[in-house]
Amino acid sequence: MADLLAARAQMAMSLAFHIIFASVGIAMPLLMVIAEGMWLRTNDDTYLTLAKRWSKGTAIMFAVGAVSGTVLSFELGLLWPTFMAHAGRIIGMPFSLEGLAFFIEAIFLGIYLYGWERVPKKVHWLAGVMVLLGGMMSGIFVVTANAWMNTPTGFTYINGNFTNIDPVAAMLNPSSFSQCLHMTIAAFLAVGFAVAGIHAYFLRQNPNSSFHRKAFAIALSVGAAFSILQPISGDISAKKVAKHQPVKLAAMEAQWETERGAPLRIGGIPNEEDEVTRYAIEIPKALSFLAHFDFNAEIKGLKEFPPEDRPPVAIVHYAFQIMVACGMIMIVAGLLGGWLAWRRKGIPVDRWYLRFVTCCAPLGFIAIEAGWTVTEVGRQPWVIYNYMRTADAVTPMPNLVVPFIGFTILYIFLSIIVVILMRRQIFQE
Amino acid sequence: MFGLEIWIAGVMLISLIIYMLTGGADFGGGIWDLFATGKRAKSQRDLITHALAPIWEANHVWLIVIIVMLFAAFPVAFATIGTALHIPLTLMLFGIVLRGTAFVFRTYDDQSETTHLRWSRVFAIASIITPIMLGVTLGAVASGTIHVNVETGHVDTDFISSWLTPFPFAIGFFTLALCGLIAAVYLTLETDDPELQEDFRMRALIGAFSVGLMAGISFLLSAEGAPSIRRGLGNSVWSIPFHILTGTVSILAILAIWRRQFHLARVLVPIQVVLIILGWGFAQYPYLVSPNLTFSNTAAPNSVLRPILIIVVIGVIILVPAFWYLYAVFKGKSRPDTVPEK
């Protein structure tokens, strides 16, 4: 295996692993805070039991997220030293802020998980709110740094050197807002549906369980609310990509020709040798409209760019389709849940609907993985878009396949253990 | 008076000291988990678990702070270290991942003796590998064997010879000994059971003597292994009084442990650790990665350093009360069960 490929594989694998736990770490505190807040308001101990049960699962996931995140911060230097030698100082500011946010998250998580009997009720609830804020902020700061790699700003580029660095401008690059919004919503959406799906499964077996009803109601409300917000943020993201990374948009849509009134493609198989996309369902002019709010806007095709500057088209296109499809299904589930709740004047526990939500449980996480594939693979061959190629950033270290295999085995092992432990947490009664 | 980069370097050194005093103690807990012996082995392990559980994740963040400051403020040094010391750093990461995950898995896995013990072993061995590899990295950085072209950033390395030598490993075991000492001293005050206290007193003494031994070995090896550090340690104006101070505090700490003045030891040992790390920091100055990279020639421009220092100030204002509260809740006098219900 070539060293560059091994380095990319290790980085991708580390990110794909970490993002699951990071998302849980961002979103679970919201569910816990809602449940505990309901307990404080109603004095119904079912809510307390619920908050405690959720917090145990979160403890496992958070620890894995914390250590796998540490791995990533080191891997930036272990695998991409040339990138960091240039970019470290430019994206150092969001990472410094992330360190601060992570401190807040970790300190208050300790108080939250182990402080049930030791701090006053309201302080405990506030600790949960701090964990939520800390987690959200740390996610946002890290995504800001990634956004900079997509749309780098805040420097002057002279003879291969980045000078006149303005870290604030770098942090507020054109993609920051849209990427942070999209990712944060995605975390709440994925976790909301995953948790709702688990409790829907138990509700089907035990429809009268007040515990699972309450859990399902909270998780589904969160999932449904964010599922409706997500297309708005997706639209903002797509317009940013269209404006700043046209080649990525072309790859997402497998659009080879530059054309006015470009169609939106559903499915389709891009052929990178013949430079065509076959068998897609095309909605006329829809891409132009979605990207630029104008049915006849020009969309740049992949042929506009030399082959060495194009990302791998098929992967990006398929990943994008998968993400959108998962999102759509969750929107349907969310809207349907809202409608049923309104009709039934209560929690929608129709058996078919519970089965549907159970099936939705993994979709948010699949969408997150697919979405990151779009962002990261779609940025290739660049590590800093239009400024530094990934191939030029990699470490000279030989035999990178060895650490790649090592981390892969380690993460597979951890995944198996986490699945076993989470199953035990979930099925414990 | 100093350039901004020296302030950042100071913040990094302070963060490293705090990481040793908090995160280091957590690793030390792992060491004593592995060497839990006698009829109180289980009580020793339980005590360690109770002491670590609520705080280890917050303590761990100091390492992230150090690494982030390094790449934000001294990016070329970060790239150099990441390149030349890829192998020990990767091993350290394995240790970090396994330590943290084994610790939570042990808490939440089924509580049969064998499963528990198996996770304990992983936790303990990972707790030993991690500080050794951290020390090896610091030792290699100090050794003066990592050559880099400051202009191009090209690192001249075979990825092995700068760390696979006696001096970095001496520093590795020195770090391990410090972790063991700190943990044992803290643990004497985490329990009211006099027998357990006695167990950890014994371990604190072993730790203290190991620290002394490794300090001596490291100093001897530094003549060849890290000549510029040796010069810094030996020839500066400040060095002799500083060594005398460190030595005195170390001996007083051992005496305090010996005489069961645990509260006094709890104060003296951290001072000893602070002095050791400060001494190393001063000896290394002005080199970040000797012999080519100094703090000044690798520093990011002031436009980068200034906002980081502002974040540090904001961080201190927010985090000092937050940490104070965390420790007050879990490290106060009365300490009922802190293990979550199963």
The DSSP H or E segment spanning A157 is: strand A156-158
Closest CB from A59, A70, A92 relative to B72: A92
pLDDT single digits (tens) A334-359:
999 999 999 988 888 889 999 999 99
CA dist A48 and A54 (Å) reads 10
User: In terms of C-beta density within 10 A (0-12 exposed, 13-18 middle, 19 or more buried), how is residue B37 classed?
Assistant: exposed
Query: Which residues of chain A does B103 touch, with a Cβ-Cβ cutoff of 8 Å?
Result: 63
Contact with chain A for residue B78, Cβ under 8 A:
yes
Find, in chain B, the residue whose alpha carbon is nearest to that of A49. Answer: B341
Judged by a CB distance cut-off of 8 A, whether residue B228 touches chain A is no
Is the minimum CB–CB distance between B233 and chain A shorter than 8 Å? Answer: no
Mutate to test the interface with B, among A89, A156, A383, A426 (most CBs of B within 10 A): A89
pLDDT digits (tens, 9 = 90+) for A243-274: 999 999 999 999 999 999 899 999 889 998 88
* Residue B153 backbone dihedrals phi, psi, to 5 degrees: 80, 10
Q: Which residue has the tokens 């749309």?
A: A151
**The pairing of beta strand A259-260 with beta strand A298-299:** antiparallel
A92 with B300: Cβ contact below 8 A: yes
The answer to whether residue B327 neighbours chain A at the CB level (below 8 Å) is: no
**Are residues B78 and A118, on separate chains, in Cβ contact within 8 Å?**
no
CB A169 within 8 A of CB A162: no
Phi, psi (degrees; rounded to nearest 5) at A382: -100, 145
pLDDT (0 to 100) of residue B223: 86
Q: Average pLDDT of chain B?
A: 89
Q: What tokens were used for A226?
A: 């964010």
pLDDT in tens, B25-83: 999 999 999 998 888 888 999 999 888 888 888 889 999 999 999 999 999 999 999 99
Q: What's the pLDDT score for residue B342? A: 39
> Quick check: A185 pLDDT over 60?
yes
- Choose the mutation target among B7, B22, B64, B341 for the interface with A, i.e. most A CBs under 10 Å: B64
For the segment B186-211, the average pLDDT, to the nearest whole number, is 93
Give residue-wise pLDDT tens across range A8-49: 999 999 999 999 999 999 999 999 999 999 999 999 999 999
Better-predicted residue by pLDDT, A65 or B337: A65
Q: Do residues A203 and A354 make contact, with C-beta atoms less than 8 angstroms apart?
A: yes
Is B57 in contact with A62 (Cβ distance < 8 A)? Answer: yes
Q: Which residues of A touch B107 (CB under 8 A)?
A: 59
